[in-house]
Amino acid sequence: MTGLSDSFQRPIDYLRISVTDRCNLRCIYCMPAEGINLLPHEDVLSYEEIHRIAVTAAELGIKKVRITGGEPLVRIGLSSLIRMLAQIEAIDDIALTTNGTLLAQYADELKAAGLRRVNISLDTLKPDKFKLITRGGDFYHVLEGINAAGAAGLNPIKINVVVMAGSNDDELLDFARKTIEEGWHVRFIEQMPFNREFADSSFVPVNEMQERLAALGELEPSTVKGNGPAKYYRLPRAKGTIGFITPVSQHFCFRCNRLRLTADGKLRPCLLSEREVDLRHPLRQGISAEELKKLIKRAVDSKPRQHKLAQGCVPQDRPFSQVGG
Ligand code: SAM
Ligand code: SF4
């Protein structure tokens, strides 16, 4: 087999890059109200360092990149990183996951720099509730961001919704109607238990979501461009799709194709395992391209067969927002 594959013969061609652990929101399922202990600035990889890792990873077989965070758009000059990544010939897809609050400002320049697509996290269609879930965010900024991304041609735009009982599960049908009325691509995500107490009381499994959505008609299997684990469906007459992401109730580790680079330069083979390979120190000590390749391969080789969420194992070493979701 050409390209990268791990010890379980899974092809690895997708790199998720967290460019910052900073965020302008405090979503209840992701961060504590007081925020997290932030990485010192000098520990965060420069764009040049990220670019060097991406070039080497692309030589090994990485073809797709997603920029995430924290909130990636709070980092100054993100478009310049996109431009650098877009020049790597072997990388044919560059996407961004964002909370959308700053997207109206940057959508055009991101598109011009070479960004293809965006996923926007939006857990409610109600401004007051949005303020509660994000602890202070402005719903209308996200709406402006969605519209700006559409106008800039960052398609398909996918809306990520983490479903929480007693909080936004009453809006499942409203989000689903958006796929009919506005052609949105909505993805319902099972909550992962990073905030254990909250997740235990508010978890909604995907099969329950699907039962409730049946009120709007039969879900026909569908597809939409992407590299992730979502399974897509379409309601009768809908232009948009409904995706389901089931990290908890039906893990998708057997087809996992990704590596993650943390903002401080650790290559993490699995979101839900504490294993990581440090690239920052070797990079700053002048490592050769060949040695860097070996470290990337070491991370790939150490990719676990599957996560252990079902056994209650959640990584404790880093907040989720540092690994990049
Ligand atoms: N700030 C950006 C955003 O919110 O889109 C990017 C980083 S965020 C960590 C990436 C994704 O992880 C978001 O779609 C968010 O909803 C999701 N996420 C965060 N915590 C989660 C949890 N406990 N369970 C499931 N998804 C979660
Ligand atoms: Fe910030 Fe994204 Fe986490 Fe919300 S989900 S707190 S926007 S990093």
Calculate how far, in angstroms, residue 88's C-alpha sits from the geometric centre of ligand 2. 28
- Supply the range of the domain harboring residue 141: 14-322
Return the pLDDT at 1.
46
Between 130 and 32, name the one with better pLDDT: 130
Q: Reply yes or no on whether the pLDDT at 197 is more than 80.
A: no
Q: Reply yes or no on whether the pLDDT at 193 is more than 90.
A: no
Q: Is residue 4 assigned to a domain?
A: no
Calculate how far, in angstroms, residue 233's C-alpha sits from the geometric centre of ligand 2. 26
Q: Label residue 118 by pLDDT band (50, 70, 90).
A: very high
Calculate how far, in angstroms, residue 32's C-alpha sits from the geometric centre of ligand 1. 13
For the chain, give the mean pLDDT: 93
Q: Reply yes or no on whether the pLDDT at 9 is more than 70.
A: yes
**How large a percentage of the chain has pLDDT more than 90?**
77
Q: Is the CB of 71 under 6 A from ligand 1?
A: yes
Return the pLDDT at 2.
64
- 236-249 average pLDDT score: 93
Between 35 and 179, name the one with better pLDDT: 179
pLDDT tens per residue across span 51-102: 999 999 999 999 999 999 999 999 999 999 999 999 999 999 999 999 999 9
Q: Is the CB of 25 under 6 A from ligand 2?
A: yes
Q: Is the CB of 6 under 6 A from ligand 1?
A: no
Q: Reply yes or no on whether the pLDDT at 153 is more than 60.
A: yes
Q: Label residue 325 by pLDDT band (50, 70, 90).
A: low
Q: Reply yes or no on whether the pLDDT at 263 is more than 50.
A: yes
Calculate how far, in angstroms, residue 287's C-alpha sits from the geometric centre of ligand 1. 33
pLDDT tens per residue across span 279-310: 999 999 999 999 999 999 999 999 888 776 76
- 201-218 average pLDDT score: 94
The count of other CB atoms within 10 Å of the CB of residue 225 is: 12
Domain count along the chain: 1
What's the CA gap between 306 and 149, in Å, rounded?
Answer: 35
**Which ligand 2 atom sits closest to the C-alpha of 71?**
8
101: CATH: 3.20.20.70
Q: Is the CB of 70 under 6 A from ligand 2?
A: yes
Calculate how far, in angstroms, residue 325's C-alpha sits from the geometric centre of ligand 1. 5
CB 163 within 8 A of CB 204: yes
What's the CA gap between 134 and 252, in Å, rounded?
Answer: 28
DSSP 8-state code for residue 190: E
Calculate how far, in angstroms, residue 21's C-alpha sits from the geometric centre of ligand 2. 10
* CA quadruple 272, 49, 93, 144: dihedral sign: positive
Q: Is residue 5 assigned to a domain?
A: no
Q: How far is CA 233 from the centre of its chain?
A: 20
Q: Reply yes or no on whether the pLDDT at 3 is more than 90.
A: no
pTM for the predicted model, two decimal places: 0.95
> 17: which strand partners?
67, 261
CA distances from 126 to 143, 163, 168, 203 (A): 11, 14, 9, 20
DSSP-assigned states of every residue in 192-218: PTTSHHHHHHHB--HHHHHHHHGGG--
Q: Is residue 128 assigned to a domain?
A: yes
pLDDT tens per residue across span 215-239: 999 999 998 887 788 999 999 999 9
Q: Is the CB of 246 under 6 A from ligand 1?
A: no
Give phi and psi for 233, each to the nearest 5.
-140, 170
Q: Is residue 2 assigned to a domain?
A: no
Q: Is the CB of 100 under 6 A from ligand 2?
A: no
Q: Is the CB of 26 under 6 A from ligand 2?
A: yes
Helix (H) or strand (E) holding 15: strand 14-18
Q: Reply yes or no on whether the pLDDT at 148 is more than 50.
A: yes
